[in-house]
Structure 1
Amino acid sequence: METFLSSCHDLLKGKGDTSQRFHVILGNEACDLDSMVSALAYAYFLFKTQPSDELFPLPMLNLIQSDLVLRSDSLLLLRQCGLNPNLLLFRDQLDLRHLHCLGLLQLTLVDHNVLPSSDSDLEGAVVEVIDHHLLERDPSPSCPVAVETVGSCVTLVMERIVQKAADILDQQLALLLYGTILLDCVNMAPEAGKVTPKDSQMAALLEARFPDLPQRGALFQSLQNAKFDVSGLSTKQMLLKDIKTVSEGDSSLAVSVIYMTLEEFLQRADLDQDLSSFCQKHGYDALIAMTIAFNNNQQPFRQLAVYSHSAPYREEVSQALEDDRSSLKLCPMRSPYTHVRAYHQGNALASRKVLLPILKDFLGTGAGRS
Structure 2
Amino acid sequence: MPNLLEYLREVKLKLVSSSCPKSLHIVMGNEACDLDSAVSSLVYAFLLHSLKVNDQINIVPILNIPRDDYELKTEVTYWLNQHSISSDHLVFRDILDSAVTCSGSVALTLVDHNVLSVQYRHLEPNVISILDHHQLERPNPQSVKDGMVIEMVGSCCTLVAEAMLNKYPSLLDDTTASLLYGTIVLDTVNLNEAAKRVTEKDVEMCRQLEKHLNSPVTCSTDIFQKLTTAKSNTAHLTSDQLLRKDVKIAENKIRVGVASIPMLAKEFLERPDVLEDMQQHSEKQHYDVLVIMGITLVGDNVRRDIAICSKDFELSMKMSQHLSSAGGGTLQLDAGTSQVEGCLAFKQGNHAASRKVVLPFVRDWLSLHNN
Asked if 1:352 corresponds to 2:355, the answer is: yes
Partners in 2 of 1:31 and 1:173 — Cα distance?
18
Partners in 2 of 1:103 and 1:221 — Cα distance?
45
- 2:22 touches 2:103 (CA, 8 Å); kept in 1? no
Partners in 2 of 1:113 and 1:101 — Cα distance?
25
Mapping of 1:155-170 within 5 angstroms? 155-170=158-173
Question: Which residue in 2 is equivalent to 1:38?
Answer: 40
Question: Which residue in 2 is equivalent to 1:59?
Answer: 61
Question: Which residue in 1 is equivalent to 2:251?
Answer: 247
Identity of aligned residues (%): 36
Question: Which residue in 1 is equivalent to 2:70?
Answer: 68
Secondary structure in 2 matching 1:267? coil
Partners in 2 of 1:89 and 1:213 — Cα distance?
31
Question: Which residue in 1 is equivalent to 2:275?
Answer: 272
Q: How far 1:2 sits from its partner (Å)?
A: 1.8
Partners in 2 of 1:263 and 1:282 — Cα distance?
22
Question: Which residue in 1 is equivalent to 2:187?
Answer: 184
Q: How far 1:213 sits from its partner (Å)?
A: 4.5
Secondary structure in 1 matching 2:141? coil
Relative distance call for 1:103 and 1:231 in structure 2 (3 A) is: same
- 1:126 touches 1:143 (CA, 8 Å); kept in 2? no
Cα offsets for 1:60-113 (capped at 9, x unmatched): 1000112111111111111221222310110113326x6257653211000001
Asked if 1:286 corresponds to 2:283, the answer is: no
Q: How far 1:269 sits from its partner (Å)?
A: 1.2
Query: Which one of 322, 329, 334 corresponds to residue 331 of structure 1?
Result: 334
Secondary structure in 1 matching 2:206? helix
Mapping of 1:76-95 within 5 angstroms? 76-95=78-97
Q: How far 1:230 sits from its partner (Å)?
A: 1.1
Partners in 2 of 1:350 and 1:343 — Cα distance?
14
Partners in 2 of 1:20 and 1:151 — Cα distance?
37
Cα offsets for 1:105-150 (capped at 9, x unmatched): 2110000011011211111111110000001122225241110001
Question: Aligned letter for 2:183?
Answer: T
Partners in 2 of 1:353 and 1:135 — Cα distance?
11
- 2:266 touches 2:307 (CA, 8 Å); kept in 1? no
Partners in 1 of 2:325 and 2:206 — Cα distance?
38
Cα offsets for 1:231-283 (capped at 9, x unmatched): 111000000111001111x2111100111123321111111111111111111
Question: Which residue in 2 is equivalent to 1:260?
Answer: 263
Question: Which residue in 1 is equivalent to 2:124?
Answer: 123
Secondary structure in 2 matching 1:186? coil
Partners in 1 of 2:101 and 2:130 — Cα distance?
18
Unaligned runs of 5+ in 2: none
- 1:335 touches 1:342 (CA, 8 Å); kept in 2? yes
Cα offsets for 1:1-26 (capped at 9, x unmatched): 22111111122124324x61211100
Q: How far 1:366 sits from its partner (Å)?
A: 2.7
Partners in 2 of 1:208 and 1:104 — Cα distance?
39
- 1:133 touches 1:147 (CA, 8 Å); kept in 2? yes
- 2:173 touches 2:212 (CA, 8 Å); kept in 1? no
Partners in 1 of 2:285 and 2:146 — Cα distance?
31
Cα offsets for 1:280-322 (capped at 9, x unmatched): 1111110000000135x54010011000000221111111112
Cα offsets for 1:29-76 (capped at 9, x unmatched): 000000111111111111112114351210110001121111111111
Question: Which residue in 2 is equivalent to 1:105?
Answer: 106
Asked if 1:222 corresponds to 2:255, the answer is: no
Question: Which residue in 1 is equivalent to 2:153?
Answer: 150
Relative distance call for 1:329 and 1:270 in structure 2 (3 A) is: same
Mapping of 1:294-333 within 5 angstroms? 294-295=297-298, 298-324=300-326, 325-333=328-336
Runs (4 or more) in structure 1 with deviation over 3 Å come to: 100-103
- 1:100 touches 1:122 (CA, 8 Å); kept in 2? no
Asked if 1:237 corresponds to 2:241, the answer is: yes
Unaligned runs of 5+ in 1: none
Q: How far 1:208 sits from its partner (Å)?
A: 2.7
Question: Aligned letter for 2:64?
Answer: N
Q: Which moved more, 1:186-195 or 1:100-109?
A: 100-109
Question: Aligned letter for 1:271?
Answer: V
Secondary structure in 2 matching 1:95? helix
Partners in 2 of 1:79 and 1:294 — Cα distance?
24
Partners in 2 of 1:253 and 1:15 — Cα distance?
37
Question: Aligned letter for 2:136?
Answer: L
Normalization by structure 2: what TM-score? 0.94
Number of aligned pairs?
Answer: 364
Partners in 1 of 2:319 and 2:15 — Cα distance?
43
- 1:47 touches 1:57 (CA, 8 Å); kept in 2? yes
Question: Which residue in 1 is equivalent to 2:346?
Answer: 343
Normalization by structure 1: what TM-score? 0.94
